[in-house]
Structure 1
Amino acid sequence: MLETFHNSKPLTLGVELELQLVNTHNFDLAPYAEDMLQLVQREALPGSVVPEMTSSMIEVATGVCTDAQDALTQLATIRDALVRAADKLNITVVGGGTHPFQMWHQQRIYDKPRFRELTALYGYLTKQFTIFGQHVHIGCPDADAALLMLHRLSRYIPHCIALSASSPYVQGQDTAFDSARLNSVFAFPLSGRAPFVLTWDDFEAYFNKMTATGVVKGMKDFYWDIRPKPEFGTVEIRVFDTPLTVERAAALAGFVQGLGAWFLDTQPFMPQEDDYLVYTFNRFQACRFGLEAMYVDPQTSEHMPLREHLLATLRTIAPYMVRAQAEAFHEQLRQSANAGQNDARWLRETQAECALLSEVVRRAAGRFRRPVGG
């Protein structure tokens, strides 16, 4: 049965980050999740630190945040605790959507009932799910408003992908994608887009049909790009690669909040089923080319550089980000878009400079642990 949608304060935020645990010998993934969890559970943290699918990864989450600066403060506190724990274990923590050279068959499934169940169902795909994403939750005042928010946000999924892309390398190879991580997500049968319904009654009818088939048991079984989270009263965007810094993670959350504030203030457009005619094309373009992608406006069918549409969007939501005291985050994203610079580009430039992917991971680890403003 579908949970009741628990209304939440509009535009509040929650941020989740899936993070890499790597050794300090050759900077490959290291199965230290259990040890990390034992150490950090002794600290009073604003959110949570929990295991993920394989034992070389962990997930951290903030509590409810009022704005992007609040998210950064919480993420930085959790990050500092992780760094201290990692130092005790002689490992390090890294951002990024994929580890550049890990081999999926070497990974161990974390011993948790749900992960064992998923392994029995999906086989090798669960080990290939050693990928790392950022999820952003945005609070919605009621269930119907959440569905309207979800479908409005769908037009900006390519922007989210391009800004966060940080997974150009897989198993030692440059994939030519800025976000190769999402290719692994798309392998799951219940990935992709949510059904186009705009009332919670219609969504519940869809959910009941799906559960009646026996294909799904709950909302966790949907790996959609955006999905409602009724227990939190939020909409959850799931397409972001984990950034290399917590500052970038907070900026991306600020971008989502700015979009949401614009939607609630002006009701700029009404979503329609035809928006999804170009959805898969736009999403592929952003994964493949990042900020150099082509974007098809679903409203006008106009083709334009994604960067151009992103910069126009940032101008539109600038007053809302300023109102949320997120000017610095807005400027960070504007400069990135203007320069075509995302974390995937940084990783490639670093690899071109130092040649060794292990050195790329070492430098990425240094970026992640750098103090805010440092």
Structure 2
Amino acid sequence: MTTGHRSASSIPLLGVEEEFLVVDADRGVVVPEAATVVDGARPALGVRVGGEITKFQVEIRTDPCRSVDDLRAQLVEGRAAVQAAARSAGLRVIASGSPVLGCAVPPPITEGPRQDRGTATFRGLHDELAICAVHVHVEEPDRDRAVLIGNHLRQHLPVFVALTANSPYWAERDTGYASWRTVTWGRWPVAGPPPFLRSARQYDDHVAMLLDAGALVDHGTIFWDLRLSINHPTLEVRVADVPLTAVESAALAALVRALAIVAGEAVDRGDEGPQPTAELMRLAYWRAARDGMGGHGVDVITGRLLPAATLAERLVALARPALDATGDREPVESWLGWLATNGDGATRQRAAAARRGRLTDVVDEIAARTAPARDDTGETAPAHAGDAHAVAARTPSNRPMYEESTTA
């Protein structure tokens, strides 16, 4: 491992998108009032807030950040702004990968010609789109290098699923899975891990083939769990459920960036990345979605069944030199330790339900964690983004790092 101290300018920029569900403040059921929340939060967030494919969903976005502290501050600010806008309208937003209460099938789809093309193309797949993820963008302007870095990150995608599992409920029942969102999303023709590719040209040729086959509406509907950004010089990891807290989203982003740095150094040594079989990747996804951090996962290289905690610890160990170089070791290791004690999001959702046997308590717990006055570490959460906008002003682009709305 050659990673050593890095100057600030050599640390890749980060950007994050988080999706939330809008619920009625009293009943906790999902309601199609996303536009109300977006309008209410726009004075505070501007282009950093927007709608999504369904009228149940709101999305916040960060500016490009070098510092994970700045990133976390923007996530805290964004969550607080959408929660305040929701409460002023008798609503709440919740950071859950799937709805807990209410009729979410089929969801009300946002109107527009692109959405209409999506409905015509994907049909019944739109019926279960009320699901929420977190997307992490890592700066990588060299598209060929980004593709090869992606080859290295593919093997880690199931572990990211386990670390962030936060969608145990669907249709007002416990599915038995930690990440039901992962299961529903896997039905799409262009979802899951991307294929092993050796160049940006091969990536583009593969996308063109999918377009010709009618599996895409446009380039924005490449829904792989890891993809090249269309509008920004980034590699985007989009496999994870939206975490309950901003602290967890920021820690995930730090881990993804560190692993991308490690992968980039391997690429520079001529290593194109491992090629786990499609069968093992599918198995590992399923086991991670079922068990989360509370059970076992599959090593996609050997096929061995290992405790999910062991797989996560190995991932952090691999990333540790880069985490030291970026100054992000403490928040990532603290997150892993915190998960070991408190469980993943699905575990915490179920614990809320177990107290009195009420799913309304689950919604209350999620809403409280989504935008609390104090975060899960006991530290006072930042009240605003501080100098995050100044950081963004020094980056190549002041636009949020996000693709066109993930509408099909």
Using structure 1 for the length normalisation, give the TM-score: 0.90
Query: Is residue 135 of structure 1 aligned with residue 135 of structure 2?
Result: yes
Name the counterpart of 1:22: 23
Q: CA deviation at 1:93?
A: 1.2
Is 1:177–1:288's contact at 8 Å kept on the other side of the alignment? yes
Q: CA deviation at 1:365?
A: 0.5
Is 2:36–2:86's contact at 8 Å kept on the other side of the alignment? no
Cα distance 1:67–1:266, how it changes in 2: closer, same or farther (>3 A)? farther
Cα distance in structure 2, aligned partners of 1:105 and 1:331: 38
Is 2:62–2:75's contact at 8 Å kept on the other side of the alignment? yes
User: After superposition, what is the alpha-carbon deviation per residue over 1:233-253, rounded to whole angstroms, capped at 9, x for unaligned?
Assistant: 212111100111111111111
Cα distance in structure 1, aligned partners of 2:279 and 2:265: 27
Name the counterpart of 1:283: 285
Cα distance in structure 2, aligned partners of 1:134 and 1:89: 25
Name the counterpart of 2:42: 41
Cα distance in structure 2, aligned partners of 1:16 and 1:199: 26
Query: Is residue 364 of structure 1 aligned with residue 359 of structure 2?
Result: no
Long gaps (5+) in structure 2: 1-8, 381-408
User: Which segment is superposed worse, 305-314 or 91-100?
Assistant: 305-314
1:331 counterpart letter in structure 2:
E
Name the counterpart of 2:250: 250
User: After superposition, what is the alpha-carbon deviation per residue over 1:259-296, rounded to whole angstroms, capped at 9, x for unaligned?
Assistant: 11222345595424345441111111100111244444
1:188 counterpart letter in structure 2:
W
Cα distance in structure 1, aligned partners of 2:11 and 2:194: 21
Percent identity over the alignment? Answer: 25
1:254 counterpart letter in structure 2:
A
Cα distance in structure 1, aligned partners of 2:109 and 2:326: 40
Q: CA deviation at 1:106?
A: 6.2
Query: Is residue 322 of structure 1 aligned with residue 324 of structure 2?
Result: yes
User: Which segment is superposed worse, 205-214 or 194-203?
Assistant: 205-214
Matches within 5 A, 1:1-16: 11-16=12-17
Cα distance in structure 2, aligned partners of 1:364 and 1:210: 38
Q: CA deviation at 1:200?
A: 1.3
Matches within 5 A, 1:164-313: 164-266=164-266, 270-313=272-315
Q: RCO (CA 8 Å, sep 6+): is it higher in 1 or 2?
A: 2
Is 1:219–1:229's contact at 8 Å kept on the other side of the alignment? no
Q: CA deviation at 1:186?
A: 1.3
Cα distance in structure 2, aligned partners of 1:353 and 1:111: 40
Q: CA deviation at 1:120?
A: 2.9
User: After superposition, what is the alpha-carbon deviation per residue over 1:101-154, rounded to whole angstroms, capped at 9, x for unaligned?
Assistant: 222236322223322322233334323100111111111130111111111111
Q: CA deviation at 1:224?
A: 1.3
Is 2:167–2:180's contact at 8 Å kept on the other side of the alignment? yes
Is 1:9–1:140's contact at 8 Å kept on the other side of the alignment? no
Q: CA deviation at 1:340?
A: 7.3
Long gaps (5+) in structure 1: 1-7
Name the counterpart of 1:352: 354
Cα distance in structure 2, aligned partners of 1:341 and 1:71: 24
Cα distance in structure 2, aligned partners of 1:105 and 1:304: 35
Alignment RMSD, CA only?
2.3
